Amino acid sequence: MQHFRGHDGHIMREVKKLALLFLLLMCIPISSFPLGYIPSGEKISVSLLLKGKSPDNDFESVIIPLKRTGRLFLIEAVIDGEEGNLVFDTGAIGLVLNKTYFRNHTASFKGTAGGVTGSGNQISTTVAARMELSGIRYDKTDADMASLGHIEDRRGVKILGLFGVDLLTSMEIIFDAAHNELRLSKLDNKGNPLGTSGRDFKFDFTEKLEMPGSVMIIKATIAEKELSFCLDTGAEINVVHYSLPKKVLSTIDINKRSNISGSGSGSAKALYGVMYDLQFGKHQFGTMDAAIINLTSMSEAYGCNIDGMLGFDFWQKGVFCINFKKRQISFKAVKGEKE
């Protein structure tokens, strides 16, 4: 795996400038999937990417109301005086700004990003002086800029950008998709939450969360085979890798075949269907929509093997608590979901 080196030879500085948009959403109802982006001609070592940006104001815990548009979760925000919505997207590494609204920001060109369907978006880097959302403030936040107009066109809402995982790693988050809530608590040195918001019930189980770089990975099983899944709140459909064993793929009932067009040139073949057999921890997750596609480029970009991505249907199954310092994920099933 190659590292990107700048003209001055300082790898770390250049890699920090290249916290790329790995997951740019193709927001097409039910047939959508997370489209992975990697630098053209280069691979980045995920271990050298940004290590997190903490909020800059004092608080213990807050509840952020989420809006829904289709299968996307939105956070109302104000960035440098511009009001709009951010897509809550843990598949993105950090903050990604829609260049439509931030053209006047000083930006440095990164290159052209390429994904599973070919090259496409041009990526630049900039700094957001101030970002405010539901009582939380981030000052001087490094951000990527890319064209996100396709999300706005398909959803008819103003999208300022993507709110990625590096903006959360100093906290514990409780994501309640059924009630459209995101609850954030700051952590003490031992990783215990300072606030009590959202802790009025017990979780059914707690499992290990792996984080190679800024990627959230869990181990789950299909057909009794343990697999590595990336957790992506911005994915509108679950995705599994096309080369998994037949006994795994046979648990997905295929009902559609098509080519997927990305934001650039080219297309990729995909199969769509319903998955029934995913088990995580003590819970059998039941019926969920899924796509089968080649995820090789995603594994290369992340610097670790992923067998699939878990998106909208997965999050709808219950309440999830993610503690980044303890590297733990807890789950409580929603009413009507059985273990």
Q: What is the pLDDT of residues 60-76, one digit of tens each?
A: 999 999 999 999 999 99
CATH of the domain at 112: 2.40.70.10
Distance CA 111, CA 301 (A): 15
- Round to whole Å and give the CA distance between 329 and 321: 6
pTM for the model: 0.82
**Integer Cα distance of 206 and 332 in angstroms:** 9
Distance CA 305, CA 157 (A): 34
Structure tokens belonging to residue 174: 């409780």
Tell which residue, 281, 286, 291, has the closest CA to residue 317: 286
Does the structure show a pLDDT above 90 at 122? Answer: no
- Report the pLDDT value the prediction gives residue 148, as an integer from 0 to 100: 86
pLDDT in the model for residue 121: 60
User: Last residue of a domain, which of 153, 186, 219?
Assistant: 186
126-157 tens-digit pLDDT: 999 999 999 899 999 999 988 888 888 888 89
Q: Is the pLDDT of residue 206 over 60?
A: yes
Residue 117 has pLDDT above 70, yes or no: no
Given pLDDT bands bounded at 50, 70 and 90, which one contains residue 27? very low
Residue 200 lies in a domain: no
Give me the pLDDT at residue 92, please. 86
**Whether residues 20 and 168 fall in one domain:** yes
Residues 107 and 143 in one domain: yes
Give the residue from 326, 312, 310 showing the smallest Cα distance to 218. 310
78 and 166: one domain? yes
Higher pLDDT, 58 or 267: 58
What's the whole-number average pLDDT of the chain? 80
pLDDT tier for residue 24 given thresholds of 50, 70 and 90: very low
Higher pLDDT, 214 or 5: 214
CA angle (252, 254, 259) in 5-degree steps: 120
Q: Which residue has the higher pLDDT, 44 or 215?
A: 215
Distance CA(100)–CA(301), nearest Å, equals 26
Domain around 244: 205-333
For residues 246 and 304, membership in a common domain is answered with: yes
* Amino acid letter, residue 164: G
Distance (Å, rounded) from C-alpha 294 to C-alpha 307? 10
| More confident call, 279 vs 37 | 279
Residues 39 and 161 in one domain: yes
Number of folded domains that form the chain: 2
- In a shared domain, residues 116 and 84: yes
In a domain, 43, yes or no: yes
Domain co-membership, 112 together with 26: yes
The reported pLDDT for the residue numbered 22 is 31
- Is 50 exceeded by the pLDDT of residue 311? yes
Chain centroid offset of residue 251 CA: 25
Indicate if 18 and 131 belong to the same structural domain. yes
Percent of the chain with pLDDT over 90: 57
| Chain segment 168-180, per-residue pLDDT in tens | 999 999 999 999 9
For residue 338, being part of any structural domain is answered with no
